[in-house]
Structure 1
């Protein structure tokens, strides 16, 4: 499924995963891989140098891309990640994903357009 290498295959997506501690690991995945599959792979192949941060279940691992938590069913291809390139994501421990905040939508609607006439 995934490969840990430095040279990026042209048909794979290289994920640079960064922990909160700043530790980094690069792993290549096919574009059809889901966020849950990435978390499962990392959990099952936990790097020895990360042992002090190991979690008890892959379901506790969450990916963050562009400041947003990725739900487990989202595939890397659905994010339009470039093949053969490196994409940075954060890997964090969290039991539940936050619910979308309805107040944010209300604030945006009240603000309206930022254009000047």
Structure 2
């Protein structure tokens, strides 16, 4: 028996490049019920992609929406925030990141 470990390549998908994630996929990836995703949409935390004629009855989301949903759900769980408060916190965090980037650009 050899002491060397064989490396198995990891395979993954960059979700920001995947432009169409279904509500069911967001629910599965975030481990939440459909109603929680509806609340996130109602509060403006995430926005569905514009409907296409073939898929007009189903919400579809970007990979960025998935990331934002995960962050909002984490805020709700860990800080016991409601969806509206989580939306506000995310907007403020986005603004801070934008201001920091503007400051870096200014300093360069």
Q: Which has the higher strand share?
A: 1
Which structure would you say has the larger RCO, counting Cα contacts within 8 Å and 6 or more residues apart? 1
Q: Which has the higher helix share?
A: 2
Q: TM-score, normalised by structure 1?
A: 0.28
Give the greater-gyration-radius structure (CA): 2
Q: TM-score, normalised by structure 2?
A: 0.30
